[in-house]
Each structure stands twice: as C-alpha cells, then as structure tokens.
Structure 1
Amino acid sequence: MKQTITAKLKLHTDSTQFAALRATQLASRDALNHVSRYSFAHGKTSNQRVLQHACYDEIRLLFGLPAQMACNVPRQVGATYKTLWTKARHNAQARKAGWTRKRYKGLDQPPRYVSPTLTYNYLRDYSFKKVQQVSILTLEGRVVLPHRGYERHVALIGQGAVIGAAKLWYDKPHKQFYLLVSLELEVEDPPPEAHSQVVGVDVGQRYLAVTATTTGQTSFFPGKQIRAKADHDARLRKRLQHKGTRSATRRLLAISGRERRLKQDRNHLISRRIVDVHPQSLIGLEDLTHIRERTKRKRGKKASKKQRRANRHASSWAFAELHGYIAYKARLSGSLAIKVDAYHTSQACPRCGFASPDNRPNKGRLFVCQECGYRLHADLIGARNVALRTLLTRQDWVRTGILCAPREAQ
C-alpha cells in the first residue's frame, strides 16, 4: 500500500539566489491574486480550464512566470473557489436546519493570497542533482542549491522513493527557504498474525487521548494546559475582533498561526508516543464521522454560555488530524490503524455489556455501571471498549482473511 510523507529540506542560498527565489514567490502570489479577482468578476467560477484559457497569456506577460507555473496558478485559484462554494453550501444547510443565523461571507469579496508559498512540479520545475543538490526554476532561470534535511528522508530521495510535487516555503522570521517535497512510499501491511497486541484509543477534551490494551496497559495524555491556552486565545481573539483595527487584524493572524502550530505539535507528540510504546500493534480508532451532526447539542442563542463553551471545545481540537497522524506513523512502523464503531463506547460497560447514559452520573469522569456496579475512569472505559471492538475485528480478520473494518482515511 502507498503512503505519502513530506520531506523538509533546508536550502542554502547566497544573496543572488535568495533574491531570485523571493522574486519568483512574490510574482506567483501576485498572479494568484490577479486570477482570483478575474474569477470573482466572472461569476466566481471555480472551473480551472476556463481560468487557464482566460488568464494564461496575462500571467506570462504581466508576471513573467514560466509555462508550468502559469498553469499551476489557475488550478490553485479554482481549487480555492471550489472550497469556498462548498463552505457556502454547508452554511446554507446549517441555516436551513436552524443551527446558525450567520451567513457565510467568504464569497463576498475575492479571496486574497498572502502566503508566498510556491508549488513546483518534479522534473519540470525542480529536480535533484548529485551530492545533495537540487535544481529549482526561478524567473531568471534555474539555480542549483545545496540542501540539508532529515537523514532518513534524504536517503529515501536518493534510494528510489517516488517523488511528487514540492512547495517552496519561506520562513520570514529567520529569512530561510525550505523545500517541502512529497514522497510516496510502498508499504506492505503485515498480516493479522504479525500484530503482537491490540490497542484502543479514545479521544476527548479532558484527556486528548487515552490508550488501553487487552492486557491492561493504559496511557493518559492530559489536555488541561492545552485547553487553558485555547481558552486564553479565544478570549484574546474576541477582544481583538471587537477592536477591529489593522494592528488587531495582524495580531489575529499571528494568534491563529500559533494555535495551529500548537495543535500540530501536540498531535505529533501524542501520535508518536502511542506508536512507539505499542510497536507491531493493531490500533483501534473511533469512527467519528459526522459526530457533530449525531450529537444532540443546543446551538446558537438556544444554548447557554456553558453549552456554547463546550461546543467550542468540541469543535476546536483537530481529532481527525490526530487520527491521521496515528494512522500513517503506525503503517511506517509495522503497525496498522483501523476505525471501529464509536457508538456508546463511553456508556457501555466492558465487563457486562450494559449500555445506558445513566452509567455516566452527571456526565462526569466516573463510570458506574448500573447493572453490575463496575466503576472506572470514563475515558478509560471508552478506550477499553474501543480495544475490545478492535479485538473482535482482528479475530474476524484471522478467521475470514478479510479486514471488514474501514482503515483510517489518508
């Protein structure tokens, strides 16, 4: 099975090469904004062929971009407008269902591209040379730059990994260029007999992740400090949005980037620890698809202040991102992550099987089975139920030779 990873390569440039790369990035960004304004003026179209046919010559003439880069610009703009139209449709459905009264305003004006990140196509816009060098296309022609990166990633580039598109990213505070290269690896999934243990992972708010095995091993990953930080940022965003000045807007952008990096870092840390502590394992993850629609929560003005805060907590953390990190890291380390049914994982007793909302008094941390009296931490109950359902999936896999549970989507 194929697995895609990203190799981050640090580029070493002199003053002339640095200026050439920076000029290429800024020209590409200006071209994106130009095509975005054209699309907005012509019905906010997301058709990439229409945009390329109408704007290709202007992109080459006004911004001096090479042919392949000039083709990438309409594609990126079309993908952006397609995403905006999808969000608008979802907002219309939410308003019709009474979940919100706010109208989506993403299409009220043409989207403006701020980041100068530039996409390169392999063997057309960039290629690798010997002795850890890479040739990159700029407005002034190709430049050959030495690079440095993670040893395993550099080895994969030189030893036959399928190389895809790359992004030229500029770290403005440190004035450093990086090339983010997509690598596609061929990874064989081990048979069910190769998995030494079964692990269940429960995600939540008080604890970002709780793991449990069928042999009694448990791990807790608390999220108290992270949630406190998220609450602080939410209060700060509210004050800055109310202020509405240009400096407040710049501060909002900085806060959003900082919060996103914090979530990514913590999800990477948790996923790495889970995979390293449980090698050669079958890891069960809850299938949380459409979880927000399935949960009966009050929204908008019908909800109390406490309920709105709980809704924000539930929707702000990237659980799907954590599942994705666990899935790809597990596959690279010889394990396998699958999804299991999440229905009543926190309300069902793992000892007698009795499921009821009353097993969670006041929806607190303590689980008390109303049938057999079994008592345990509620999040640990969820992890154990996920582990048991994963074990049943493994047993069916061994018996039938078919993995009936869906794998984690990449």
Structure 2
Amino acid sequence: MHTRKALTRIGEHGTFVLTEQVITAKLKLHATPEQFAALRATQLAYRDALNFVSRYAFEHGKMSNQRRLQDGTYDDLRARYGLPAQMACNVARQVGATYKGLWTKVRTNAELRRAGMTRKRYKGLDQAPKHLSPTLTYNHQRDYGFKHEQQVSILTLSGRMIVPYSGYGKHVALIKQGARIAAAKLWYDQSRKCFYLLVSLQIELPEPTFEQYNQLVGVDVGIRYLAVTSTATGDPCFFSGKQAKQRANHYARLRKRLQRKGTRGSKRTIRRIEQRERRLKRQANHHIAKQIVTTHQEALIGLEDLTGIRERTKVRKRKRKKGSKGTEPATPKMRRANRVCSQWSFAELHALIAYKAVLGGSLAIKVEAQYTSQACPKCGYTHKDNRPNKGLVFHCGSCHYELHADLVGARNLVMRTLFLRQDWGKTGQLSVAPDTSDREAKAERLRRYSELRWS
C-alpha cells in the first residue's frame, strides 16, 4: 500500500484544520503485449517532451511561467511527439513547476550566502534540468477513467485502451464506492517489467472536535533514536536508529569506492544501492509510524516543527588561526556528521505519522521544537549545559533532575501539546502547525511554554 498525506487548510482567524486525506492507490495494470508496447511508447514520448520543454525554458531565460511555456511549445509537442492535448498541457505545467522550485532554491541559497551560513553557490540552474524518469501524469475523466469489473480506460499515443487492474482491497473498495478521484501517474517498474497506475484518492474527514482526543503523545525524533514517545502519564517508548545508521554508513563507504571507479557498471550499482537504502529507510519509518499510531488510539500527537533544522545542525568549518587565510579543511568526523544529518528522514516519518494518525482516529499537530531538549520539565531551567557534550543524558543544572535526553524532549512536547489542547477547548480553534511568520506571537508562545511543569 502506497499512501501519502495532504492537508486542506482553511484560513479562519489564522486557524488551520484537516478536512481531507489524500491516499495514493497503487494499481497493477494487467496489459497485453500490444497494450504494454503502447503504454511504454507513450511514457518515452512524454519524457522526451519534458526534456524538449526544459531546454526551451532554459534558452528563454530559464522561464518558469507555465502559460508562456505552453504557448511557446504546445504546437511542437502535438506535432513532433504526437501527444494528446491534455498531456501537452501537463508537460508545460510540470516543467514550469520544476523551474519554479529551482528558482526558489537559488534565492534561498543567495540569502544563506549573504548571511554567511554557506559559501557554496547553488548550481541547479547552470544547465537545463534533464528528466530521466518516464513517469507521466494523467488527469481523471480526461486521460483516464474507471470502468466496471476492475477495468480502467487509459489514453495513449495510439488512442484509448481498456486495461484490467488489481490492487489493495481497501483501495479498490474506495474506488468502487465512489471516492473522489484526482490525477494519477503511470509508473513503470523496471525490475518486474510491469506498469502501475498511482491514483490519488481524496477522503473527506469530519471536522475534529476537542472531546475526541483524550490521550496526549509527544514524539521526539532524532538520529541515534529515530523516535522517542511519551504520554501524559510518562509512558515511554524508544525506537533505536542504530541499525539504520550502520546500514547508511555501510552504503556510504560502498558508494565512495564505486565512485572512484567511475565505470558504467559502478554507476548502475550505485543507483541500485541508493534505491535499496531508500526502501530500507522508508520501511523503518513505516514500521515506527504504524506502531506509534496503533499503540495510541484517539490521541492528539505532538510533533516537532523542524523547519530549517538542517542549516542549524550543520557542522561548520572552523576558522584558521589569526594570520592565516580561509578556513580549516573539514575533518572526516565533520563530513560524516553532515552526511548523517543530511540523510535524516524526519520529514518522511512526520508525514507517515500524520496520515496514519488521521486514518486511525487520531490527529497529529506541529509544535515549536525550540529548547525541548534543553529545558528541564521539572523546574523549567533552560540551558545548553543541561546536556553535557550533547549526549543522551539530561542533567538539570538547577534541580539536578536526570533523565534520557530524548525522553525529556518527548515530555516537553507532551506539555506543549496539552497547552494547545487547552487553548483549543477555550477558544474552539486549533492550529495544526505553528505560525512562524509572526516573531512576537512566537516569542509569546515560547514564554508561556517556559511556565509549564511536569508533575
């Protein structure tokens, strides 16, 4: 089962509520040899069209405006690649979104360079982005549609064809029961030599109420421990990341040896290794998220808002001594720490917890993560020295309270979640994510958090 999360945010007095859940149904297509050839030809033509529009956008000032891209390339896409009208529009839309994301990274990098947080220049727009994946997008009721007896009508370069499909029973049932169906992607599994249709299903959710969630859970994520949870009664649960970290280090060493070779065979091996590592990490995150959600039913789950955490935790190069130029070269330990931090998949784990929680009758919200591992839950004393050498032991410098550092973070998240739940009961409004744009409001929330005590 392949699923993902989506939030519909409704702005009422700055409040955001979850009103729908989007899951992706993975449907296997049982195509005949003729249908298989037609689907594959459509995929490859779509990929070639993406690269053609990408080059056009690069040659015309690295354009990201989708309307202008469509006006300038639509006729060529129809004549040269034989794409249907809707597919030609999807190509321009996809390339425009790609360039828009790259321009955002360029601006972010420029701000970081001005602030002195990095010296590297982002090179994503030095050449036209090349699309390698042949995955294409279909629009419901235009490019594809469902028929009776588990069949789907799909548009190809040679016309429409009806293909039988199979999939996860609950997803197939949702399609038959009339769930809201959105766009889909046609994906080709090279190892199994078969096609899958990844269909987005939108599930309407009732508006959450204050009385639904009686249990509170805080989830502290990290690298040494992928997740540590705590309830309002103090029940802890630890999910170690030792095995995942060892596997990641093993794959990093293996990639390093293969990259030195530089042969075509070594590059294919590197690609297989990256895919294997990605699957292992996703499986670990799925297991953790499922265990958290099934253990805590009808709970309000507090997750850390870790926006910008990678830049804050990156190990910087030390400046040279007075009289010398530049900075000292990065040590192997510094490079290893930065690599482990960059491969930290906390956002994926948060997303999995959020969508599994909604489907299981719970609700996940984001709270401020500042000082959760430095603040004493007993007396409120906050200082970085409460974690000597950034270790796993928390020792309060005021009341000498000692506990596992990640469990302290989870308990602080529980108290902050309780604080938001109480405000929800008083005002009738709930925010699933903190507003980070207003600095004064954020400072006021942190001040109120500092008054919380664990009893």
> Structures share a fold, TM > 0.5?
yes
Tell me how far apart the structure 2 counterparts of residues 296 and 309 of structure 1 sit (CA, whole Å). 11
Residue 352 of structure 2 corresponds to residue 325 of structure 1: yes
* 1:172 alignment partner in structure 2: 190
Residue 163 of structure 2 corresponds to residue 145 of structure 1: yes
- 1:287 is displaced (CA, Å) by 1.3
- 1:171 is displaced (CA, Å) by 0.3
Structure 1 residues 201-240: aligned runs within 5 Å: 201-240=219-258
Q: 2:379 aligns with which of 352, 357, 371?
A: 352
Q: 1:312 aligns with which of 331, 339, 342?
A: 339
Tell me how far apart the structure 2 counterparts of residues 100 and 391 of structure 1 sit (CA, whole Å). 38
- 1:304 is displaced (CA, Å) by 4.2
Tell me how far apart the structure 1 counterparts of residues 423 and 107 of structure 2 sit (CA, whole Å). 40
- For residues 104-145 of structure 1, the C-alpha deviation after alignment (integer angstroms, 9 at most, x for no partner) is 222222222111111100000000001111000111111111
Q: Which letter does structure 1 place at the counterpart of 2:38?
A: A
- 1:148 is displaced (CA, Å) by 0.9
Tell me how far apart the structure 2 counterparts of residues 90 and 262 of structure 1 sit (CA, whole Å). 31
Q: 2:406 aligns with which of 375, 379, 385?
A: 379
- 1:299 is displaced (CA, Å) by 4.4
Contact 1:197 1:214 in 2 (8 A): yes
Residue 18 of structure 2 corresponds to residue 23 of structure 1: no
- 1:69 is displaced (CA, Å) by 0.8
Contact 2:150 2:165 in 1 (8 A): yes
TM-score, with structure 1 as normaliser: 0.94
- For residues 144-199 of structure 1, the C-alpha deviation after alignment (integer angstroms, 9 at most, x for no partner) is 11111111111111212110000000001100110000111111243222213100
Tell me how far apart the structure 2 counterparts of residues 191 and 41 of structure 1 sit (CA, whole Å). 53
- Relative to structure 2, which stretch is displaced further, 187-196 or 64-73? 187-196
Structure 1 residues 7-406: aligned runs within 5 Å: 7-295=25-313, 297-299=315-317, 304-404=331-431, 406=433
Cα pair distance change 1:274/1:407, threshold 3 Å: farther
Cα pair distance change 1:90/1:251, threshold 3 Å: farther
Structure 1: gaps of 5 or more residues = none
Tell me how far apart the structure 2 counterparts of residues 408 and 165 of structure 1 sit (CA, whole Å). 30
Cα pair distance change 1:264/1:408, threshold 3 Å: farther
- 1:292 is displaced (CA, Å) by 3.5
Q: Which letter does structure 2 place at the counterpart of 1:276?
A: T
- 1:44 is displaced (CA, Å) by 1.8
- 1:248 is displaced (CA, Å) by 3.3
Aligned residue for 1:169, secondary structure, equals strand
Cα pair distance change 1:70/1:222, threshold 3 Å: same
- For residues 206-225 of structure 1, the C-alpha deviation after alignment (integer angstroms, 9 at most, x for no partner) is 00000000122211111111
Tell me how far apart the structure 2 counterparts of residues 299 and 117 of structure 1 sit (CA, whole Å). 40
Tell me how far apart the structure 1 counterparts of residues 265 and 364 of structure 2 sit (CA, whole Å). 45
Aligned residue for 2:379, secondary structure, equals coil
Cα pair distance change 1:5/1:81, threshold 3 Å: same
Contact 1:189 1:336 in 2 (8 A): no
Contact 1:299 1:308 in 2 (8 A): no
Cα pair distance change 1:24/1:37, threshold 3 Å: same
Root-mean-square deviation over aligned CA pairs: 2.1
- Relative to structure 2, which stretch is displaced further, 300-309 or 2-11? 300-309
Contact 2:303 2:413 in 1 (8 A): yes
Aligned residue for 1:65, secondary structure, equals coil
Structure 2: gaps of 5 or more residues = 1-18, 319-326, 437-455
Cα pair distance change 1:149/1:112, threshold 3 Å: same
- 1:295 is displaced (CA, Å) by 4.9
Matched residues, number: 409
Cα pair distance change 1:274/1:189, threshold 3 Å: farther
Aligned residue for 1:292, secondary structure, equals helix
Tell me how far apart the structure 1 counterparts of residues 158 and 196 of structure 2 sit (CA, whole Å). 19
Contact 2:227 2:239 in 1 (8 A): yes
Tell me how far apart the structure 1 counterparts of residues 258 and 128 of structure 2 sit (CA, whole Å). 24
Contact 2:217 2:232 in 1 (8 A): yes
Percent of residue pairs identical:
64
Tell me how far apart the structure 2 counterparts of residues 188 and 30 of structure 1 sit (CA, whole Å). 43
Q: Which letter does structure 1 place at the counterpart of 2:234?
A: G
TM-score, with structure 2 as normaliser: 0.85
Contact 2:140 2:184 in 1 (8 A): yes
Tell me how far apart the structure 1 counterparts of residues 268 and 113 of structure 2 sit (CA, whole Å). 30
Contact 1:367 1:375 in 2 (8 A): yes
Aligned residue for 2:370, secondary structure, equals coil
Tell me how far apart the structure 2 counterparts of residues 47 and 240 of structure 1 sit (CA, whole Å). 40
Tell me how far apart the structure 2 counterparts of residues 102 and 343 of structure 1 sit (CA, whole Å). 27
Tell me how far apart the structure 1 counterparts of residues 263 and 107 of structure 2 sit (CA, whole Å). 30
Contact 2:314 2:338 in 1 (8 A): no
- Relative to structure 2, which stretch is displaced further, 353-362 or 100-109? 100-109
* 2:441 alignment partner in structure 1: none
- 1:237 is displaced (CA, Å) by 2.9
Cα pair distance change 1:190/1:50, threshold 3 Å: closer
